[in-house]
Structures are given as C-alpha cells and as structure tokens.
C-alpha cells in the first residue's frame, strides 16, 4: 500500500524496515483491505509500504519508530493467539508513541516495550491488556497497593480495569468476595419513590458495574456468584456499619460522595481486603455548596503509605477518539470559566479596597 505521507516539512523523514517471519499472520496484522495499516498511517502520519513479508515505514523519526514498535507489538500479540482489531491497533499506537517519545528524550529511562512487557489482567473470559501508558501504571498500582484512588474522565478504563482486577483476584482465591458500590446521588439515596423491589430500585445506578462484570465472567457465573454473595452490588448507603474482610471493594463515581460518606467507606476496609476508589472531579452532581468526599479524601490522605493515586487525563481516553476531544473541549471551557471567576473576584476585591484598579 502507498498512502500520502503527512510528515512535517522541517523534520526529515527516515526509512525503517520491518520483516515478519510468519506470512500467515500478515493478513490479520494488515487488516481487511490493509485497514490496520491505514489506521496506523492516519494516527501517526507515516507511510507504510508492504513488500511480501516486509514493511517499509517512512516518516519523521519519532512517528516512524512508533509505527514500527506498534506493528511488532501487534504481530507478537497475533503470535500468542490474541485477536487484533481497530481498538487493539489504537492501543498499540498509543503505547508505542509513548515509548518512542521516552526513547528520544535525553536521559530518559528505558521505556516499557508496547504490548510485550506491559501489565495485563487475566479473567475467565479474556485478558485485559493496558491500552495506554496510564492504564499500565494503574494496573501496577492495583497490584502494589491495598488502597488506590483512580481519577479522570469517562472512557479511561478506571472502573473497567478495577472490576477486572477484582474478578481475577476472586478467581485465584486472593479475596473471598467482591463488593461494588456507587452513590445513588440523583435520587438522594432515598429510592422509595421508584417502582419495584429494592434491587429494581437501585439497578439503574449500578448498571455500569453489572456490564463490566458481564465482560469478565460468563453470565451463569455472574448470577451464581451474586446469589451466593461472592459478588455484591449495592448502593453506598448500604455500606454503613459493616467491616469488609477478605474483600475487593470498588467505590465508583466517588466524586458524588460527601466527606462523611467517604470516611465511612474507607474505614470499612478489613483484614485481607483491597479497595479502589474511582471518580471524576469534573462531574460532581452533589447539591451546590456540598464538598466532594473524593477531593476531601485526596487532600487528607495523599502521600500516605500503602495508598496509590493514579490520575488520568483526556489523553488517556480509550473510547471513540471523539470522546477525548469532547472531554478536552469541556475541560477548556471549565478552565476559561474558572479564569473568568478569578478575574471577577480580583476586580471585586480591588473595588472594595478603594484602589479601583
């Protein structure tokens, strides 16, 4: 294939050669009608030309190295029997671009090789591999710490990876049960006016957690473990007064907790347990004037031994590329609004002190 090279005019292109030994894997690597190659070209602004079992990569040095690393990582994944689709290609490009930048930085540490030496989580249905450098750091934090705070926008994998780690630890006997919880803040946790029994009342708030479980375990196992109490999905209000021993606890949407609720949940942690607290401080749905328990906990606890904090940004969004741009646009507007308020306060303060400047 031979697409238009989109390198920058002031960066001289380089040419790299990649040779693959197993020709049978190449149709899967290249994709239908070379769709995967076109995707890499579009993401990195390089040109990929196939010649038998060889690929020629042409483009700026950093992007060309990233394209080569992504291709080798995807080829290795296919050799292990894994499937490669558009999402895997995007993940490989994201990881390889990060590794290429680190390699070219003066004095940088040796980067992690994309899709080969990165963390992954094995569940009964699939293997969940990191799709961004921050996801790799998150998986390492989950393995190393008993309490982890994961912050950042939707689409970064905060909850999904936490559920995968919980399921993996339950399957290997490292914990005896999983407890998944969210604050039902839209109904003020007073759910009596909703129709149905208790489970039907709270299910709409907990649906994302059920969806993640369904991706990790066969449907019959999910139902059996729910019935046996090995997996519990409950609103935040139901956590009070309990001690959760030998459990993997996930508190999702924690930005919508109050400081009192957050302290209550954190102090439920018992012997042999782990806890993950996820949230997005830009999407707080609490009543005006109510402080978020998540921000309060971070100010109080960050830096404490045994605690890990992982912060995702819009650059770590692994859903549709448009989602990252949407998050970024909202972030820019929020920053502009904060700056406007800051200037208004400064102007008001100057007027009060009589300077008028």
* Chain mean position to CA 109: 24
Read off the pLDDT of residues 281-296 as tens digits, 9 standing for 90 and up.
988 888 888 899 999 9
Which tokens is 1 given? 């294939």
pLDDT given at position 131? 81
Please name every residue paired with 104 in a beta bridge, in sequence order, or none if there are none: none
Question: What is the Cα–Cα distance from 17 to 49, expressed in whole angstroms?
Answer: 10
Residues 6+ apart with CB under 8 A from 3: 38, 41, 47, 48
Q: How confident is the model at residue 336 (pLDDT cuts 50, 70, 90)?
A: confident
pTM: predicted TM-score of the whole model, two decimal places: 0.70
Burial of 303 (0-12, 13-18, 19+ CB in 10 A): exposed
Residue 104: pLDDT over 80 = no
Q: Which tens digit of pLDDT belongs to each residue from 177-198?
A: 999 988 875 544 444 555 555 5
Q: What is the pLDDT of residue 106?
A: 45
**What is the reported pLDDT for 30?**
93
Helix (H) or strand (E) holding 302: none
Instruction: Say if CB 128 and CB 121 are below 8 A apart.
Output: yes
Q: 28 - beta bridge partners?
A: none
User: For 304-318, what is the mean pLDDT?
Assistant: 87
């Amino acid at each position: 294939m031979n697409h238009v090279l989109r390198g920058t005019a002031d960066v001289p292109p380089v040419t790299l050669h990649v040779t693959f030994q197993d020709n049978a894997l190449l149709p899967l690597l290249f994709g239908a009608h070379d769709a995967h190659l076109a995707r890499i070209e579009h993401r990195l602004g390089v040109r990929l030309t196939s010649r038998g079992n060889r690929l020629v990569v042409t483009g700026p040095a950093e992007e060309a190295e990233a394209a080569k690393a992504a291709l080798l990582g995807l080829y290795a994944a296919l050799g292990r029997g894994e499937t490669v689709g558009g999402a895997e290609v995007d993940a490989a490009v994201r990881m390889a671009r990060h590794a290429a930048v680190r390699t070219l930085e003066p004095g940088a540490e040796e980067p992690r090789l994309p899709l080969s030496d990165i963390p992954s989580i094995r569940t009964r249905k699939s293997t969940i591999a990191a799709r961004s450098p921050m996801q790799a750091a998150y998986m390492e934090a989950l393995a190393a710490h008993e309490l982890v705070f994961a912050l950042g926008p939707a689409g970064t994998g905060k909850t999904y990876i936490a559920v995968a780690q919980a399921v993996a630890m339950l399957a290997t006997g490292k914990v005896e049960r999983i407890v998944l919880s969210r604050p039902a803040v839209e109904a003020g946790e007073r759910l009596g006016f909703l129709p149905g029994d208790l489970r039907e009342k709270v299910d709409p708030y907990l649906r994302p957690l059920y969806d993640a479980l369904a991706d990790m375990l066969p449907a019959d196992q999910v139902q059996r473990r729910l019935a046996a109490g090995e997996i519990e999905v409950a609103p935040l209000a139901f956590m009070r007064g309990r001690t959760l021993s030998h459990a993997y606890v996930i508190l999702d949407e924690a930005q919508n907790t109050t400081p009192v609720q957050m302290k209550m949940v954190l102090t439920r942690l018992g012997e042999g347990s782990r806890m993950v607290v996820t949230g997005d401080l830009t999407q707080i749905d609490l009543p005006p004037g109510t402080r978020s328990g998540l921000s309060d906990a971070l100010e109080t606890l960050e830096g404490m031994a045994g605690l890990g904090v992982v912060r995702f940004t819009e650059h770590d969004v692994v859903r549709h590329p448009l989602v990252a741009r949407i998050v970024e646009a909202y972030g820019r507007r929020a920053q502009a609004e904060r700056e406007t308020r800051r200037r208004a306060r400064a102007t008001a303060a100057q007027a009060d002190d009589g300077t008028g400047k």
